[in-house]
Structure 1
Amino acid sequence: MATITRYPVVRHLRSTPTAHVMQLTGGRLRRSGVGLAFWFRPLTAVLSEVPVDDRELPLVAHARTADLQDVTAQVTVSYRFEDPEVVAQRLDFSIDPTTGRWTADPLQQVGRLLGELAAGHVMDALAGSTLRDAVSSGAGPLRHQVTAALVADKRVTATGLRVLGARVSSVRADADLERALQTPAREGAQAEADRSTFERRALAVERERAIAENELNNRIELASREQQLVAQEGTNARVRADEAAAAALIAARATAERRHLQATADAQATRLQGEADGAAERARMAALADVDQGVLLAVALRELAAHLPEIGQLTVTPDLLTGALTALTAGRGE
């Protein structure tokens, strides 16, 4: 909006970079441009201000499909005042020379014009589609059709407007119809979810079975190895017993042979000792064969004394001594 400063006789106008200002004096165009600042006389000047920035017009368009179902499309039209001078001639963009405000509501006129045109093109685009196609096809095809129709509309270009594009955010049907249309998709999604759940459960059961089978195989393998271990331990015990018995037999045989050899050696030594003793005795007896009786008696007494037990005290009586001497003397006389 332009800013107008009041003075006693004249006024000063300062516009913005997004507004195109035109001044008419006496029916002739005196000034026209964007971002102007000038002096004017309020009694003779006719001022118009047309915005040149990009603007958007949101609207809700109602249409009926080929199967006689009502749908609602939310559309946003982007536009621009391409030729401000033509726009000022077709629409009332005049401003008050005192306040700088529009004397009418030109943007409402533009919105009504573009809204009716956009709604008509939406109705034409959806008239050949069924409800399911209109709702499920998305906003892309409808956006292209509405944009092309608005750009090619002669009433838009004749007004000095330029449509930059149209956006369609949604195409909606009645709530009950939407729920009915969503039911197959929901049931399909639920069926897919159930199938995924069943497959997950089946996979879990299969994995549990595999785990149980693996555990059973491990137990069987452990039992088999334990059986092999027991058999091997028994074999080892038998081998150790056999080895111990063989070692004991060898030791016993060695002991017996050693004792036999010792006994044989002892017998041989005893035999040789006896033979030696016998030979010595024979020699001794042969030596005593020609000896006197007294000598033999002395030898016998000596031998007897050698074999008698130890005598602590010996008492010799005269009778004993006399008898012994008598026997000794008698023996020598013979």
Structure 2
Amino acid sequence: MATITRFPFVRHLRGTATTYTECLTNGRRSNAGVGASFWFRPLTSAISEIPIDDREQEAVVRVRTSDLQEITAPATITYRFASPSQAATRVDFSIDPATGEWLESPLETVGAMIHGATAAAVTGILTGYSLREVLGRDVADLADEALARLRADQRLTAIGIEVIGIRFALLRPEPEVERALQLPAREQVQQEADKATFERRALAVEREAAIGENELANQIELARRQEQLITQKGTNARREAEDAARADSVRVKAEASRAATLSETRAEATRLLGAAEADAEAAKLTAYNAAGRDVLLALALRELAANLPKVDQLVLTPDLLTGMLGKLTADKQD
């Protein structure tokens, strides 16, 4: 905004580097230019101030597709006043000589014109397409086509506006339609998520099955080795029993042979002893045959005395002595 300094009867205006200021005195242009500075009389002067910097205008365009669906296309248009003197003749940019503020709202008027031109351009581009075709369009291509149409719009060039660029946000249908369109995609995403979950569970089951098979294989191998161990232990025990039986057989045979040898030796000794005793008895009998009766009686008495029990006391009665003496006397007489 220009700076106005008040003096008696006259005033001074100092513009900025981004504004075009034009002063009309009595209907004729007296001063004009970018960043102009001049004196003027407030009673006879009409001053217009036009910004020449880049500005942006928001626009929301609603378009009906061929299948009777409504699309919202938010856009941002960047523009500038390429011919400010021309704009001053078509739009009221007059300022208050006292304060330097606009007397009207020129930027709102220009914004409405840009919004209408943008709506016409976008509608012309998207008309005849279905909802899915519109939503499938590239917003960059849509922006290029809309920019070309805006630059060719006579209403904008007539007020000296140059459209520099246009940007579109996401094209969106009505909320209910958008939710309906999102549903298949959500279902697809959910199906893929479920599929991933099932695959993960199947993989987990396969891994658990593999682990179970490995454990079973380990158990089978362990059982087989235990069977081999038991078989080997049985074989070792059988060998030990056979070895022990053979050893016992050898020992029994040795003991039997030793016992037989010992029995034969004892039998031989008994036989020799019996033969010796028989020879001794025969010799005794031969000697007894040669000996007299008295000798035999004495030997008999000696044998009898040797075999009699122990006699602590011996009582000899007269009758016994008489009888014995009578027998002895009778024997002598004989």
The interval holding the TM-score normalised by the smaller chain is 0.5 to 0.7
> Residues 206, 161 of structure 1: CA spacing in aligned structure 2 closer, same or farther, 3 A cutoff?
closer
Contact 2:15/2:34, CA 8 A, preserved across alignment = no
Gaps of 5+ in 2: none
Question: In the aligned structure 1, how far is the partner of 2:235 from the partner of 2:259?
Answer: 35
> Residues 128, 317 of structure 1: CA spacing in aligned structure 2 closer, same or farther, 3 A cutoff?
same
Alignment of 1:77 onto 2:77: yes
282-291 or 229-238: which moved more?
A: 229-238
2:34 aligned partner: 33
Contact 2:59/2:74, CA 8 A, preserved across alignment = yes
1:50 aligned partner: 50
Alignment of 1:317 onto 2:331: no
Question: In the aligned structure 2, how far is the partner of 1:106 from the partner of 1:30?
Answer: 21
Q: Deviations over 1:218-269 (max 9, x none)?
A: 8799789869977985896598468647744762663365145314413422
Question: In the aligned structure 1, how far is the partner of 2:333 from the partner of 2:85?
Answer: 206
> Residues 164, 243 of structure 1: CA spacing in aligned structure 2 closer, same or farther, 3 A cutoff?
same
> Residues 84, 322 of structure 1: CA spacing in aligned structure 2 closer, same or farther, 3 A cutoff?
farther
Question: In the aligned structure 2, how far is the partner of 1:3 from the partner of 1:33?
Answer: 14
Q: What pairs up with 1:168-187 in 2 under 5 angstroms?
A: 168-172=168-172, 178=177, 182=180, 186=183
Between Structure 1 and Structure 2, how many residues are aligned?
328
Question: In the aligned structure 1, how far is the partner of 2:291 from the partner of 2:20?
Answer: 191
1:269 aligned partner: 266
Amino acid at match of 2:259: Q
2:125 aligned partner: 125
Cα displacement (A) at 1:79: 1.5
Alignment of 1:24 onto 2:23: yes
1:142 aligned partner: 142
Gaps of 5+ in 1: none
Contact 1:294/1:332, CA 8 A, preserved across alignment = no
Cα displacement (A) at 1:118: 1.5
Question: In the aligned structure 1, how far is the partner of 2:163 from the partner of 2:74?
Answer: 17
1:95 aligned partner: 95
1:59 aligned partner: 59
Question: In the aligned structure 2, how far is the partner of 1:21 from the partner of 1:198?
Answer: 66
Amino acid at match of 2:258: L
2:165 aligned partner: 165
Q: Aligned residues: percent identity?
A: 33
> Residues 307, 144 of structure 1: CA spacing in aligned structure 2 closer, same or farther, 3 A cutoff?
farther
Question: In the aligned structure 2, how far is the partner of 1:259 from the partner of 1:82?
Answer: 142
> Residues 161, 306 of structure 1: CA spacing in aligned structure 2 closer, same or farther, 3 A cutoff?
farther
RMSD, aligned CA: 5.3
Alignment of 1:279 onto 2:276: yes
Q: Deviations over 1:7-57 (max 9, x none)?
A: 55555656666x4152537445546334x7887664566543333443221
Contact 1:23/1:45, CA 8 A, preserved across alignment = no
Cα displacement (A) at 1:145: 0.7
Cα displacement (A) at 1:87: 3.6
Q: What is the TM-score of this pair, normalised by structure 1?
A: 0.67
Alignment of 1:255 onto 2:256: no
Question: In the aligned structure 1, how far is the partner of 2:322 from the partner of 2:12?
Answer: 201
Amino acid at match of 2:102: W
> Residues 314, 141 of structure 1: CA spacing in aligned structure 2 closer, same or farther, 3 A cutoff?
same
250-259 or 162-171: which moved more?
A: 250-259
Q: Secondary structure at the match of 1:116?
A: helix
